Amino acid sequence: MAQPVTLPRTLKYSIFSLARNAVTFHEHWPLAWRSPPPKPRYDAIVIGGGGHGLATAYYLAKEHGIANVAVVEKGWLGGGNTGRNTTIVRSNYHLDPNAHFYELSMKLWETLSHELNFNVMYSARGVLNLLHAPAEVDAAMRRGNAMRLNGIDATYLTREQVAARVPRLDCSAHARFPILGGLLQPRGGTVRHDAVAWGYARAADALGVDILQQCEVTAIRVADGAVTGVETTRGAIAAPRVGLAVAGHSSQVAALAGLRLPIESHVLQAMVSEPVKPVLDTVVTSGAVHFYISQSDKGELVMGGDLDFYNSYAQRGNLPIVEHVVGACLALFPSFGRLKLLRTWGGIMDMTMDGSPIIATLPVKGLTMTGGWCYGGFKATPASGFLHAYTMARGEPHALNAAFTLERFAQGRVIDEKGAGPYAWSH
Amino acid sequence: MTVPRKPAPAQPFRLPHGGAIDRSQPLRFRFDGCDHDGFAGDTLASALLANGVHLVGRSFKYHRPRGIVAAGAEEPNALVQLDTGARTEPNVRATTIELYDGLVAASQNRWPSLRLDAGALASAVSRLLPAGFYYKTFMWPASPRGWRFYEHWIRRAAGLGVGASASDPGRYAHRHAHCDVLVVGAGPAGLAAARAAAASGARVIVCDEEREPGGRLRGVAGASVDGTSAPAWLAAVGRELAAHPQVTMLARTTAFGYYDHNLVGLVERCPGAASEHLRERVWHVRARRVVLATGAHERPIAYAGNDLPGTLLAGAARAYVERFAVRPGRRAVVFTNNDTAHAAALVLHAAGVEIAAIVDVRPDTALVGHWPGQARAARLPILAGSVVEQARGRLHVRGVDVASRDSGARCAITCDLVCVSGGWNPAVHLHSQARGTLRYDDALATFVPAAAAQAVASAGAANGCDGLAAALAEGHAAGLAAAAALDLVAVTPPPAPAATVATTGPLEACWSIPARSRGAPSFVDWQNDVTTADVALAVREGYTSVEHLKRYTTLGMGTDQGKTANVVGLALLAQLLNRPVQSIGTTTFRPPYTPVTLGAVAGHEAGPFLEPTRRSALHDWHAAHGARFVTAGLWLRPHSYPRPGETPDDAANREARNVRTNAGIVDVSTLGKIELQGRDVATLLDRVYVNRFDNLAVGRCRYGLMLRDDGIVQDDGTVSRIAPTHYLVTTTTVNAVRVMQQLEYLIQVEWPELDVYATSVTEQWCAAALSGPKSRAILARIVDIDVASAAVPFLAITRCTVNTPAGAVPARLLRVSYSGELAFELHVPADQGPAMWEAVLAAGEDLGIMAYGTEAMSTLRIEKGHIVVGAEADGRTTADDLGMGKLVNAGKWCIGKPLLSREALVAPDRWQLVGLTADEPAVPIPRGAKLVADPDRAAPNPMLGHVTSWCWSPNLDAWIALALLDNGRARHGTTLWAVSPLADARVRVRVGPPAFVDPDGERLRG
Amino acid sequence: MLLIPCPWCGPRNQIEFSYGGDATVRRPPLDAPMEAWTDYVYLRDNPRGPHDELWLHAAGCRRWVVVRRDTRTHEIAGSAAAGPGPAGAGRVIDASGGPPAEAA
C-alpha cells in the first residue's frame, strides 16, 4: 500500500464528514497517521508508541513548539498497556502529589475528545469504592476529605445510597464482606482505551510528529554524560532529547543507558464477560476483596483484581487470580453467576517501590522518563504526556511532577499512598 | 414468555430415519413463545432446523436477520436466551444446547419481535455506521458529559442477551487431577491417541465438548474404520476406553485454557437442570503430556448477502443430516473452493435435498479429487470456475447469482439453502495459549501449529492433516509418542486404526467475492457485523496491524472470538497490504477457548467462602452475650456488648468507663503470637527490633518496635522472656503473618548461623486482657499465685493456673497494659479459653467487671495515647514521628536503622503524633478529619495533618483524638480546625501531647 | 498455574507458596555507605529472562526456596534451598530439564 510522504489532508471528524463520506462509500478517508521512514535526526525522540509516548509527542509539538519529534515503537502503536487495561479514570487519591497529578489528568480527559477531534468516549459514570469495615470507612473518609480540600469531587454514600445506585450489589448484612458504605468520585469513569492512542497519534501526526512503528530501540547513545540519540532496528537516529515512555519495560530500556530503577515488572490480568444488556452503570471497586468492575458500552463486564505476584514480562497470567477475581465478582454481584467469561489477558506493570510513578529527568543529561505506573497508568495518560513533554522541553520538571523523581527513594521522599513499603508487588 | 401459538406441523424437515437421535424420546420445547417438537439427541439448533426455523437471531450492530450457520461451538449467529428467571442464561449457542423436555428459549437483541425488529433501522442507515464511526462523531456538545447522552442510547442498543436479576441457584465445583497424557478432543485422532497412550500404560484423561465421542465422524455411515462402519467403530472404541482402568473419559467437557507448566483448565457440564444439582465442574488437570486433537473449524467465503438465514457452512449442513437426520433445506447451492463440500453435497443429495448446483471457484481441471468425482458420478450439477456473487432474500435466502470467473457469464439460481466452504482452520487455540508458534500453510490456506512450547503435540485436523485415514494415523502416532516421552512403551504396540484414503484435489484460496453493486455488505465476522468494506476502511486509514484491525473493526471480538471469521479477515488484510499472510500473523489467542460460566470459574470460593472467616475461641461466648461484631481483616471481633436499649456506642462508652472505675476483660486472642527458642534468640531480636532485648531478664516483658528495611515503623508488640532460651513475641493482628514470614526468612536465609526456631502459636493460645483498678483483686481470687506488685511487677511474665469450674487451667500471666490501667493478660490453651474467660467474669461479678469490646479498647488506648499500627503508624511514619525516637537504641544496628538517617526522614516538616481535644464538648470530631488552619479557605486548602484515631472520652467528657500533624510537637498549645467536607462538619481542636489519662503511668504500675 | 519444585516437598502448585522477590539482592555489610543501603532496598535488575527469586512454601514445609524462573516464559529451570538445604547445603532439584540453578 503506497504511503504518502507528505502530510495527508487531515479531515475533521464530525457527523457531517461521516455523512459526506457515506455518499462515496467511505473510500476517501485519509490515513489517520502516516508511516514515514525515519529521519536521521530529530529535536526529540520519544521511545514508546503507547498512550504516554504519543501524548508526550503531541504536547511537545502543541505546547512547546517542538514538532520535529519521532515516536519510536517496537511493535504497533497502542499495543502495550494502553490497549490492555480496564479503561478506568479517576483522581481519588489521598496524598497531595498524587491527587494534584491525577486531577490534572481528569481535567484533560474531560476535554480530550475535542482537543484531539477524536471521540475517546470519556464516560463520567462515577467510580465507587466499596467499604466493608469500619477501618476502611475511616480511611476512605480521610481520603475523601483530602480530595475535597484539594478541590476534587468526592461524596460519601451510605449503604442505602450504594444499593440504590448499584442495584445488583449484594448489600445484605450477611454478605461475606458486608457493605457499610462507599466513597464516590462522580467525575471518575471510563475512557475508550484504544481511542486514546489513536487520537493522540492522529493529532501528533497532524502536527508533524513522525510515528515509527516496527522500530525497536537497541541502544541509547550517550556522550559526555549527555544523550545523543538512539540506535534502532531501522537505523541510528540522533536527538538531543530522549524520553522513555515504555512502562512495563522501563527497567529494560533504562538499562540501555546503564541505569537501574526501583521497579519490578509484574503481570496484571484483566478479563471481560460476554456482552449483556446494561446491568451496571458505575465503576465499582473493592479494596477488601481486591476487585474492580465496570460494564463497557458494548455490554461486556470488564473486571480486574490483584497482580499474579511474581515478576513477569509475559503478557499472560494464571488461573488462581482469574478464579479469585471472578469469586470476588460473584460475592458482590451474586446475580452474575450465569454470565460467561469471554476473554482474559495480561499486561506488564512497572511496579515501583512506593506505588507512585516516576516522571523525571534521569542521571543522563537530556534523558527523561515517564513510567512506574503500577496499576495506574491508563488514567494518567494525558497528564503524564503533558508533564513529560514539559520536562523534556525544559530539562526540568513542572511543579506537578516535581515530586515524582528518581532520587526520592534515596532521599526518603517516597510517595507511598498505601503505606505498603518498599515491596514492589504490595502496591 | 408470551402465550404459545398453535404448535407448528411436527418437524417437517426431519428425515424418516438415520441420525444419532433417539426417536423413542420425543421432547417438547418452546422458542420465542412457539412450541416445537424434537428428539433426545437433538441440539436446540438441530431441533429448530427440523421444524424449519432458520431465523433465530439479530446481529449485534445492524440487527440483520441471522440463522444457524454451524453445528458446533464455533457458531457465530445462533445465540439465544435460554431458560427464564434466576436460571436464565444469555448468549447461549443453540448449536451446543442439548435439547431437553420443556426447554424454553428466546431470540435476543430484537424488539418488538424477531421478524419485525425496530433495531433493523440500523441496517437501513448502515452506510453511516462503518467500522469505528463512533470515534468520528458523538462529540457534540463540547461538554465533559456530552458522551453520556449518546452512551445512554448506545448501551441500550448493545449487549445481546439479558442477565438474570436474581442470584444464580446453580452449584459449581472445582477438581484437581493429574495424568500422564491428556487428550483434548475425542474425534478420530483423539480416540486413536488415547487408545495408543493407554495401551502403552499411560494414565489418560480424554475430554470432548460434545455429548458423545466421535467428532466429525459421528453419524458418518459412509465411512469405515478397521473394516467396520464408522459409527460401529466409534461405539466400540468408546466402550473400550470407558472400560479401561487407566482411562478417564469426560464428555460435555471443554478444555478452555492452557496455562503454565502443562496445567489445562477443563469445564465439565453436568446434565440435569435442578438447582440443587451440580451444574458445572472446573478441572485443573496437570498433565505430563498433552495431545491436542481439537479438530478444525470450517470457514466461510465472503460475498454479498452471505449472512442471510439459510446460509450454512457445508460441513454443518452435512452434520445436520448425518447426526440429526435433519434436512437444512429443500434446494441447495453449494459454494466451495475445496473437496469437502462435494462430500457434503453428496450427503445432502442422498438425504433428498435437491442440489441446484455445486459452485466451485476452481477450474474443472482442478476437480481431480475423489469427492468431486463421486459428485460427477451422481450427476450433481457442478459449475467449475464459478463464484456466488450475491444471495437474494429478506428473512431467508431465496436464491443466488452465480458468475463464471473467466467468461463473466451470470445466472440466477433459486434455492432455500446455501452451503459454503472456504476451507478449514485447525483449532490451534490451545496450542497457541501454550505459547506454541503458528505457520501459514499455503496448501491449506490457513495457520497450522509449528513449534510447541510445552509438553504438547497436535494431531489430526487440529494439526492441519487432511482426511480420516491420516487423522487416525497421526493420532495413533501422537498417543504412542506422548507415552514414549514418559518412558511408557507397549510390549506389543497396537496397530494404528486404518481407513480408506480418499484422494483430494488442491484447495484454491478464496476469501471474498467482490460485490457487483457498491455498498452491498459482504460479511467477514457475522456476529460483530464486520464486512469486507470495514476491513478495507481500516487499511485505508492506517489500522494495518492485526491488532489494529481487530480493535478498530471489532473483528473476532464477539462471543465466538472469530472462530469462523479471523483467518478470512487476516487474509483480506494481507491482500490489501499486498503482503504474504504469514507476515501478517494472527492476534493472540486468549483463554477461554469458549466462554465459561462465571459461577464455574469461581467454584466453591464464592459468596461466604471467598475468604475464610476467622473466629476466636471465645466467639460463641461473645455471640451468646449480645456482642455486636466488627470485621478486622479476616477476623470477627466484638465491637461492644449492647444491653437492651443501648446503642453500640453507648455500650462502648459504658464499658470504657467501667474499666477505669472497676475492671473489664477483653478478648485479645487475635494478636499474633510467635514462640522463639534457641541460644541466639536475643541476638535475633536485637537485629529485628529497634530496642535491646539481650538485657531482658527471664520473667520480664518489654514493648518492642519493629521497622521495615526503609526505616518506617512496621509493627509493634511485646517480647517476653519465658526462659533463658525461650521467648514469646506478640504482633499486631494484621501483621501476624508477615512478621512470621520475615522471621523465618531471616533465620533460614540471612542468618542461618543463629540457633533460633520460630513457631506461630496464634491459634494455639486464647488471650484475654483484664484491666482496671480492681483487676488484681479479681485475679487473686482465681489464680494459684501471689499477684501482688512485688510478686508480679509491671512488665512481668509468669506461669500460673486459673481455677475454673471446669478444672485448673494452665496459664501464662503477663502484666502488660494497653488500656493504661493496672492490667494483666492471661494466655491459656485455646480450647480452655472459654473456661478461663467465664471464671474471670464470675470472680469479678461483685466487683463490677464487664466484658468490653474493641471499641472500648480503642477508646481506652486513645485516652492513654497508645498507638495502633495501621492508624498512627500508617506505613509512612518513623519511630520519632510517633514520639518513640528514644526507643531506637543508638548502641546497636537493627533492620531499617541505616535508612532512618535519610534527609527527608529527619527533616523538621515531619508529621508528628499529637493529641487533640475539641474545644466544645458538644461538637464531635468528625470521622476521617483533616487538620487545617483556616476551614473557610478555598480549595486547594493546605492540610497540616489528619486525625488518625478519635473518640468520645467518657472519662474526660470530651471529644479527643490522636493525630499526625506537621511539626506537631512544636504546636502543642495551639488550636487548629478538624474538618470533614464530606460530612460538612468542623470543630476547633487544641493541640497537646498524645496522652490524656495518667500521662506518668502511675495507674499501670500501681 | 506454576508448578514450583520445592527442594523439600517436590513439585507443588503455586497456590501453596508466597512470593519473596529477587533472591540476588544481599543485605550490605553493617558499615556500608548509605548508597549501598538504598540500592539494596530499592533498586532491582528486573531481568527479562532467567530470574532467581524467593518463594516461601507457606502451605507446605514453610521453607524459603530460590527458584530460577524465566520472566518471559515462566519456565522454571530449577530450585534450591534459600538457606542451608536438605541433605547438605545448596542441593538443587531440576524442574523442567533446564539447567539447574546454582546453590543460593
Report yes or no: A427 at the B interface, CB cutoff 8 Å: no
Chain A residue with minimum CA distance to B630 = A133
Cα Rg of chain A, angstroms: 22
Q: Is the dihedral of CA B178, B180, B183, B188 positive or negative?
A: negative
Distances in Å between the alpha carbon of A150 and those of B237, B981, C32?
A: 72, 11, 42
Instruction: Read off the pLDDT of residues A8-40 as tens digits, 9 standing for 90 and up.
Output: 457 899 999 999 999 999 999 999 999 999 999
Which among B467, B491, B466, B462 is positioned nearest to B478, based on CA atoms? B462
Q: Is the per-residue pLDDT at C97 higher than 50?
A: no
Angle between helix axes A134-149 and A96-116 (nearest 10 degrees) is: 60
Q: Do A260 and C39 make contact, defined as CB atoms within 8 angstroms?
A: yes
Q: Which residue type sits at A177?
A: F
Per-residue pLDDT band at C61 (split at 50, 70, 90): very high
The residue whose grid cell reads 421444524 is: B51
**Cβ neighbourhood burial of B34 (10 Å; 0-12, 13-18, 19+):** middle
pLDDT classification of B270: cutoffs 50, 70, 90: very high
Look at residue B273 in the predicted model and tell me its pLDDT: 55
- Say whether A410 and C42 touch across the interface (CB within 8 A): yes
Rounded to 10 deg, the angle between the B681-688 and B736-745 helix axes is: 120
pLDDT at B204 (0 to 100): 98
Q: Determine which of B176, B258, B260 to mutate to test the interface with C (most C C-beta atoms within 10 Å).
A: B260
Please tell me the distance from the alpha carbon of residue B40 to that of residue B271, in angstroms, as a whole number.
Answer: 13
**What is the reported pLDDT for A1?**
36
Q: How far is it, in rounded angstroms, from Cα B304 to Cα B300?
A: 12
Mean pLDDT of the B958-969 span = 98
| pLDDT above 60 for B275 | no
Contact B749 C41 (CB under 8 A): no
- Decide if pLDDT at A163 tops 80: yes
Which residues from chain C sit within 8 angstroms of residue B286, using beta carbons? 3
The b-or-e profile of A304-335 (16+ CB within 10 A means b, else e) is bbbbbbbbbbbbbbbbbbbbbbbbbbbbbbbb
DSSP code of residue B752: T
Q: Tell me if A307 sits within 8 A of A374, measured CB to CB.
A: no
pLDDT at residue number C85: 62
Q: Residue A393: enclosing H or E segment and its boundaries?
A: helix A377-394
Is A274–B559 a contact, with Cβ atoms under 8 angstroms apart?
yes
Interface membership of C37 toward A (CB under 8 Å): no
Rounded CA-CA distance B417/B439 in Å is: 34
- Give the DSSP letter of residue B529: T
Q: Which grid cell is B646?
A: 443501648
> Is residue B956 scored above 90 in pLDDT?
yes
Q: What's the rounded Cα separation, in Å, for the pair B430 and B765?
A: 50
Report the alpha-carbon distance of residue B305 to residue B300 in Å, rounded.
Answer: 12
CA distance, residue B709 to nearest chain C CA (Å): 7
> Left (φ > 0), alpha (ψ -120 to 50) or beta: where does B91 sit?
left
Report CB contact under 8 Å: A421, B631: no
- Nearest residue, CB atoms, B284 vs list A76, A319, A326: A319
CB pair distance less than 8 Å for C73 and A353: no
Rounded CA gap, A179 and A333, in Å?
A: 12
- Rounded to whole angstroms, the Cα distance separating B65 from B68 reads 11
Q: Give Cβ neighbours of residue A54 (< 8 Å, ≥ 6 apart).
A: A46, A71, A77, A78, A197, A200, A201, A204, A211, A385
The answer to whether residue C12 neighbours chain A at the CB level (below 8 Å) is no
Please give the pLDDT value at position B5.
53
Residue B411 confidence (pLDDT): 97
Instruction: Give the pLDDT band (50/70/90) at residue C102.
Output: very low
| Locus of grid cell 514539559 | A390
Q: Given 3-state DSSP classes, what are the helix, strand and coil percentages for chain B, each rounded to the nearest 5?
A: 25, 30, 45
- Mark yes or no for CB contact B136/A111 under 8 Å: no
Count Cβ atoms within 10 A of the Cβ of residue B701 and give its class: 0-12 exposed, 13-18 middle, 19 or more buried.
buried
**Contacts for B446-451: CB closer than 8 Å, 24+ residues apart:** B446/B299, B446/B567, B447/B567, B447/B586, B449/B292
Give the whole-angstrom CA distance, residue A371 versus residue B366.
58
Question: Picking from A289-303, A391-405, B373-387, C84-98, which range would have the lowest pLDDT averaged per residue?
Answer: C84-98
Residue B645 burial (CB < 10 Å; 0-12/13-18/19+)?
A: exposed
Mind listing the pLDDT tens digit for each residue in B899-949? 999 999 999 999 999 999 999 988 999 999 999 999 999 999 999 999 999
User: b/e map of B924-957 (b: 16 or more CB within 10 Å)?
Assistant: bbbbbbbbbeebeeeeebebbbbbbbbbbbbbee
Residue B802 grid coordinates = 486459673
Buried b (16+ CB within 10 A) or exposed e, B297-320: bbbbbbbbbbbbbbbbbbbbbbbb
How far away is chain C from the Cα of B478, in angstroms, using its nearest Cα?
A: 21
Nearest by CB to B286, from C3, C27, C54: name it.
C3
Collect all residues of chain A within an 8 Å Cβ-Cβ radius of residue B940: 100, 149-151
Task: Compute φ and ψ for A136, nearest 5 degrees.
Answer: -70, -40
A263 CB neighbours in chain C (<8 A) are 44, 46
- pLDDT tens readout for residues B557-609: 999 999 999 999 999 999 999 999 999 999 899 999 999 999 999 999 888 88
**From the candidates C25, C41, C42, which should be mutated to test the interface with A, based on the most A CB atoms within 10 A?**
C42
Is C46's CB within 8 Å of A261's CB?
A: yes
For B32-41, the pLDDT digits (tens) are 999 999 999 9
Give A52-77 as a DSSP string. HHHHHHHHHHHHH----EEEE-SS-T
What would the grid cell of residue A177 be? Answer: 464482606
Tell me what pLDDT residue C104 has. Answer: 32
Q: Does A231 touch chain B (CB under 8 A)?
A: no
Q: Can you tell me whether residue B771 is helix, strand or coil? A: strand
Report the alpha-carbon distance of residue B69 to residue B347 in Å, rounded: 17
pLDDT, tens digit, 9 for 90 and up, residues A43-64? 999 999 999 999 999 999 999 9
Rounded CA separation B871/B218 (Å) = 67
Cβ contact B261–C76 (<8 Å)? yes
Contact list in C for residue A314 (CB cut-off 8 A) is 71-74
**Cβ contact, residue pair B898, C56, below 8 Å:** no
Cell numbers representing residue B205 in the block: 484423561
Q: Residue C89's pLDDT band (boundaries 50, 70, 90)?
A: very low
Per-residue pLDDT band at B2 (split at 50, 70, 90): very low
pLDDT at A3 over 50: no
Residue A274 CB contacts under 8 Å (≥ 6 apart), including other chains? A300, A339, A340, A342, B90, B91, B160, B161, B559, B595
How big is the CA angle at B203 (ends B201 and B208), to the nearest 5 degrees?
125
Which residues in chain C are contacts of A424 at CB distance < 8 A?
A: 21, 44
Instruction: Select from A261, A309, A353 the Cβ nearest to the Cβ of C19.
Output: A309
Q: What one-character DSSP code corresponds to residue B994?
A: S
pLDDT at B9 over 80: no
Candidate from B263, B453, B748 with C-beta closest to C83: B748
Chains near A with 3+ CB pairs less than 8 A apart are B, C
Contact A422 C42 (CB under 8 A): yes
As a dihedral over the C-alpha atoms of residue A329, residue A335, residue A339, residue A343, rounded to 10 degrees, the angle is: -10
CA gap B831, B835 in Å, rounded: 8
Chain A: give the shortest CA distance to residue B712, in Å.
8
Which neighbouring-strand residues pair with B55?
A: B67
A276 vs B162: CB contact, 8 Å cut-off?
A: yes
* Three cell numbers written together for C18: 508466597
Is the distance from CB of B720 to CB of B797 less than 8 angstroms? Answer: yes
The predicted pLDDT at position C86 comes to: 56
User: Residues of chain B with pLDDT > 70: what percent?
Assistant: 99
Task: Name the residue with cell 497502542.
Answer: A78
Residue B552, CA distances (Å) to A2, B535, B537, B642 in order: 21, 9, 10, 61
Residue of A nearest to B266 (CA): A319
Report phi then psi at B932, rounded to 5: -135, 160
Residues present in chain A in total:
427
What mean pLDDT is reported for chain A? 95
- Whether the pLDDT of residue C62 is over 70: the answer is yes
Q: Residue B314 is placed in which grid cell?
A: 457445508
> Cβ of B602 and A119 within 8 Å?
no
Across the range B724-753, mean pLDDT stands at: 96
Strand A242-244 vs strand A367-371: parallel, antiparallel, or unpaired? parallel
In A312-415, beta strands by DSSP E: 340-352, 358-361, 367-371
Please report the pLDDT score of residue B352 as a whole number: 97
**Over 60: is that where the pLDDT of C95 sits?**
no
C19 to chain B, any CB pair closer than 8 A? The answer is: no
Chain C: touching chains (3 or more CB pairs < 8 Å): A, B
Q: Is C64 on the interface with B (CB under 8 A)?
A: yes
Query: Cell 533472591 sits at which residue?
Result: C23
Give the best residue of B529, B610, B951, B964 to mutate against chain A (max A CB count within 10 A): B610
All residues of chain C having their beta carbon less than 8 Å from the beta carbon of residue B284 are 1
Rounded to the nearest angstrom, the minimum Cα separation between B870 and chain A is 9
Residues B711 and B896 sit within 8 Å (Cβ to Cβ): yes
Binary contact (B608, A149; C-beta < 8 A): no
State the angle between helix axes of B566-577 and B546-553 in degrees (0 to 180), rounded to the nearest 10.
Answer: 120
Assess C38–A contact: CB distance below 8 Å, yes or no.
yes
Compute CA distances C26 → B743, B746, C36, C40, C42, whole Å. Answer: 16, 12, 10, 7, 12
pLDDT reported for residue C101: 38
Interface of A with B in 358-417 (CB under 8 A): 410-414, 416
Shortest CA distance from B737: residue in chain C: C58
Instruction: Please give the Cα distance from B306 to B967 (Å, whole number).
Output: 75
Q: Is residue C100 over pLDDT 60?
A: no
Give just the sign of the alpha carbon dihedral B320, B322, B323, B326: positive
Interface of A with C (CB under 8 A): 249, 251-252, 260-265, 309-314, 318-320, 353, 409-410, 422-425
